[in-house]
Structure 1
Amino acid sequence: LLLLASLLAALTWASDAVVLPDEEVEVDDDGYLVIDGVKYMCFDMNTFKGRQASTDNEIHICLLMPDPRDLTKKKKVMFKIKLDKMNALELRGLYDLYEDASDVQVRAFTSAVISRPTFIKKEGATTELLNLVVTLEDGFVTGLEWKNQCIDRVCSFQDCKKSLFYEGTEEEVLETNCFITTCKSSKETGNCDTKVYLTFVGTDGGERPMISDSSRITHMVKHSIQSLYDSATSIHLGTEIDQ
């Protein structure tokens, strides 16, 4: 695993930042949030087109976040991950990129399915971790859901913040998460680069059940954040990709 000094060293931000207008996010007949899977591609066309995923396959997950040079525009970062493992997605140097921003939201998407937004920064404070649950139905990704919450043994009362989100069905989603204010820089305080822990539910292409969600961080309150990070099956650095 290549150690990178910062996210800027890992990624080359292109000048043509991607804009994802609200009208391009739609809801299908089953209530899932969807986007144009061709325009906002998050898979390898040569390797994964037309294939179902199974427990032996890798899939791509993308994070959609503001371009740090212009927060009104979006950029995407792609990760290739193993199915049904507890994966840690890491963007080293992330805090430094958004140090001066007060509120920063991120979405996850793959295979034309997109999550609701969640915060990586809120009111100037930074979250150390996010939990993303991927739902598979017979090997196809049908849902991406943030499962964040304040963990009593990790988060102090004053650091726990509430957020209210509206999904495409107009249903309110109330979420809590821990946001810390002690960050100085990515190098000085390594826990300030938000990590995304990803697990799976549902069934693969062979109708085998996914079991990795039993290892989700919000289920494991006895452990510290660092020990959970160290125990993640796979730790991934993202690759920024142009449209």
Structure 2
Amino acid sequence: MKILIVEDDSRIAKPLAEDLRHQHHAVDIAADGIEGWDYAQSTEYDLILLDLMLPRLDGISLCKRLRAKKSNALILMLTAKDTTSDKVIGLDAGADDYLIKPFELEELAARIRALSRRTPEVKSSILTHGKLQLEPNKNEVIYADNPIILTPKEYLILEYFLRHPQQVLTRAAILDKLWEIDKCSGEGTVKTHITNLRSKLRAAGSSDNLIETVYGMGYRLNAIDY
């Protein structure tokens, strides 16, 4: 998933982002509501972790603004306020869930998994393509019973292909979906990661053309897994 954290306390935001990246998510951090709004307008996020109390634009106002603009991102509010009225206000503003600070990272991960199951794109617990299997809940990849160890970015790329098996994915689309805004990566970086991913898949027994190049357009999963 591509996740935006809107949190002004770096002591919370940075460790949270690091933990989510270890779970194979692409994560951006915005330090206030206006920056969060700008980020959300520049790229499409699957999930926004939104603090309630923010400088320049508070979380409730940002949530309402996002929903008014028809944002389909899942929104999970993070706040130290735990009264029923505060929860109702957040949910009525368009939030999908509400988590009280302080919270355990395990609980947050469970909430994210629960929210992700609401969207058709991530409803399947195990993604398969022929002999290839990817299990998001365990971050495991197997080809013909052979486990494959991938880097976080290789894992995200493979998951993206598996979730769009009939679609040609351009390098620009892969960059936009899987790289953080503040990471300076060109399209050559995508080519390098796909080359490495192909090599690991071949070592596990896949064909050379499991991820095929559609010249002049991008890449897609081969319909036939030899």
Alignment TM class, shorter chain as reference? under 0.3
**Which one has a bigger Cα radius of gyration?**
2
| Greater fraction strand | 1
Q: Comparing both chains, which one has the higher relative contact order based on Cα–Cα distances under 8 Å and sequence gaps of 6 or more? A: 1
| Greater fraction helix | 2
Question: Normalized against structure 2, the TM-score is what?
Answer: 0.25
